[in-house]
Structure 1
């Protein structure tokens, strides 16, 4: 791949010749439109037009996945051919502009009448272009340093109940989790700045307890405050977190947008925990939307430090292989000259029983394992919930089965009995 280009891969479905549709896609997202116009010289096309570099035919379907009035008006029927398309785009068309980059690789492509399905799968950038965008401020190494957690998996939890507690009640939950030996706590994605626990009160109340816990343990638990809001409010609340001694903030990426997250990244050195809630709307259809391969590239260019990948054997729709592949992507550098990896964050229905598969999927200990109900809902209490997960991690490290490890760990035994019956 030349330094002056980047590439995107798509899955398309169409009743037309996929190679012809690929050329339409390349023209639509670069210098062309549906007809050649004055000013579109050969020289301009040579500089600015995207180029189709691969068309790989896949299976055919008798029926379309999505309707197209454009095809219906022309009486064009199936079969509907699927194909993998790879297009090379000139970097000069975009410069350093994340919103324009996203508009180029996606944008109007989803509305093309020629397709009955289109999904952006991957984006591949030359390292020199990647370095022109934001890097993580903390990443994996910085997150570990802030937690004083030099090795081993990182264990986190989520404030539960999700919403409804006052600032003081939230702080009391934090006390329990800190005493239980947690590394990381985060707000739920739907609890940002509610009337019953506004951030101006909740941040100081929670940080006071985290600092008290640090006085006892020597370690400052990382708390990801959900500051999702308009850009000005996010910056204001990140500043408050920093003043109170916090180390992390969280943003609901899909609802804040690239510009807000980029602005936040420029304005703070805090670890930025990227929550992907809403990603299912973009990804669950096999031939529509955007795959995690492309999605994580765009948000890493915005400078996030952590990325959610969901969880193995969890409560959401993604199969385990998708979670495993997403984890590997987060742990793969986009830049071959620096460590721009981001910390994959596992969540959704996680508990001690999902630990072995998670550790195997991560291929090491560089991940954040978050359990909300798996800790708070443990029959022995939060401390026992944390201990059950720690015991499960130790079992995987030493090659024991969880069943064997539970013989010497009551919290793990309770977890297997309680959560195991519900998982079954």
Structure 2
């Protein structure tokens, strides 16, 4: 039977190997005392194993409260950080995705042996990955829907986030559709409130988008937020499909792995995964998840697009972390398709060249709210300036040089560069 590999960053006042063994025991067949039913044969078959422990650093203060220090003379008053690689028998969970999370990211976070623990990577066997729905569209399928092959998908977010009626939402959509965007999404804060039910909002929005397509031949993808209880999401999915919609958006943490998986199994539309709440699990460097590990759960569950923040964004995450997250999205999990990373948060032309050079490709969504709507010459110029910035980056032309012959880009540099 295959084993699932999990790599952790740990911090402990104990010997790191002992702390790693505590994780292995807690997350498989062990407990805090010996029990007669935990036979050698059972442990061999069902026990987690510590495969490797590598010491990284020693610090004087714990990252998290509550760690219990050793009650012996060998304790030096310091805390050791190490990477620990464990393997778990797949037989313990079969092919259950929710139970995979329980196994590799469960009670270990409250062990007294640890003053810090973070799941930093997972290695998924093909037999497990093949049993999951995985992304239905991924990068190539999303490109086929919107008919864009050779550049990023340029998009925006409906703002203000809340308070707009379906008719007011449609008016904003008409403005940005006429401006030339490829993709529009609801904000994560609006799903189906009484003043804008999904059924009414998607009808109003798709009426605009369908008329635009009939007139121009251009397809615009609209990610309608259907987040809710499982049955509610499925009803909303049907409403989106009946209206001619072409994308669903869900708040991943809010609906959970089982909710995402069920929606994926019932849907034939792309799923746009929003990661709101992600910071609570990642912002402390010695707690929670790395994005590299976290995103694998949602991809296996079936999302096609995943938010990764953006370079020089308004959020705390470093540029290096953003690019690593995007690269991971574009890396297949066993035989599953890669998914499209979604760059957003304070993005305009300024970040384009660095994004392209460091990522090394244009298989992404590039979303801008103020970067489009805030352009002095209007949303049309806002969209155009982003497309021009990507043309420059992909042709290897410096941004300022390209701006000399492209008015929308030049104006954007003058306007946003002074902010």
Q: Name the TM-score class by shorter chain.
A: over 0.9
Q: Contact (CA 8 Å) 1:160, 1:373: kept in 2 or not?
A: no
Alpha-carbon distance between aligned partners in 1 of 2:191 and 2:272, rounded to the nearest angstrom: 14
Aligned counterparts, 1:315-334, within 5 A: 315-334=314-333
Aligned counterparts, 1:223-372, within 5 A: 223-335=222-334, 338=335, 340-372=337-369
Report the CA distance shift for 1:398/1:58 in structure 2 as closer, same or farther (over 3 A).
Answer: same
Q: Contact (CA 8 Å) 2:199, 2:240: kept in 1 or not?
A: no
The SS at the match of 1:200 is helix
Report the CA distance shift for 1:196/1:34 in structure 2 as closer, same or farther (over 3 A).
Answer: same
Q: Contact (CA 8 Å) 2:135, 2:336: kept in 1 or not?
A: no
Aligned counterparts, 1:353-392, within 5 A: 353-392=350-389
Offset, 1:400:
1.4
Corresponding residue for 2:14?
Answer: 16
Corresponding residue for 1:54?
Answer: 52
Corresponding residue for 2:195?
Answer: 196
Offset, 1:151:
2.2
The SS at the match of 1:178 is helix
Alpha-carbon distance between aligned partners in 1 of 2:71 and 2:101, rounded to the nearest angstrom: 30
Q: Contact (CA 8 Å) 2:176, 2:380: kept in 1 or not?
A: yes
Alpha-carbon distance between aligned partners in 1 of 2:357 and 2:184, rounded to the nearest angstrom: 23
Alpha-carbon distance between aligned partners in 2 of 1:400 and 1:219, rounded to the nearest angstrom: 28
Offset, 1:74:
9.0
The worse-fitting range, judged by mean Cα deviation, of 304-313 and 142-151 is 142-151
The worse-fitting range, judged by mean Cα deviation, of 55-64 and 400-409 is 400-409
Alpha-carbon distance between aligned partners in 2 of 1:162 and 1:115, rounded to the nearest angstrom: 40
TM-score, scaled relative to structure 2: 0.97
Q: Contact (CA 8 Å) 1:309, 1:326: kept in 2 or not?
A: yes
Corresponding residue for 1:185?
Answer: 184
The worse-fitting range, judged by mean Cα deviation, of 61-70 and 373-382 is 61-70
The SS at the match of 1:13 is strand
Structure 2 residue corresponding to 1:35, chosen from 29, 33, 36:
33
Offset, 1:196:
2.2
1:91 aligns with 2:96: no
1:44 aligns with 2:39: no
Corresponding residue for 2:126?
Answer: 127
Offset, 1:128:
2.5
Q: Contact (CA 8 Å) 2:340, 2:363: kept in 1 or not?
A: yes
Structure 2 residue corresponding to 1:408, chosen from 388, 405, 408:
405
The SS at the match of 2:196 is coil
The SS at the match of 1:123 is strand
Per-residue CA shift, 1:118-172, capped at 9, x if unaligned? 1110011122221111121111111111111122211111111111211111111
The SS at the match of 2:404 is helix
Offset, 1:38:
2.0
TM-score, scaled relative to structure 1: 0.96
Structure 2 residue corresponding to 1:5, chosen from 3, 27, 30:
3
Per-residue CA shift, 1:349-405, capped at 9, x if unaligned? 111111111222331121111111110111111101000101101111222111111
Alpha-carbon distance between aligned partners in 1 of 2:66 and 2:336, rounded to the nearest angstrom: 44
Q: Which runs of 5+ in 1 are unaligned?
A: none
Corresponding residue for 2:221?
Answer: 222
Q: Contact (CA 8 Å) 1:65, 1:117: kept in 2 or not?
A: yes
Offset, 1:301:
1.1
Per-residue CA shift, 1:83-103, capped at 9, x if unaligned? 100000100001111111001
Task: Tell me the C-alpha RMSD between the 2 structures.
Answer: 1.5
Q: Contact (CA 8 Å) 1:160, 1:376: kept in 2 or not?
A: no
Q: Contact (CA 8 Å) 2:67, 2:115: kept in 1 or not?
A: no
The worse-fitting range, judged by mean Cα deviation, of 149-158 and 382-391 is 149-158
Alpha-carbon distance between aligned partners in 1 of 2:112 and 2:192, rounded to the nearest angstrom: 42
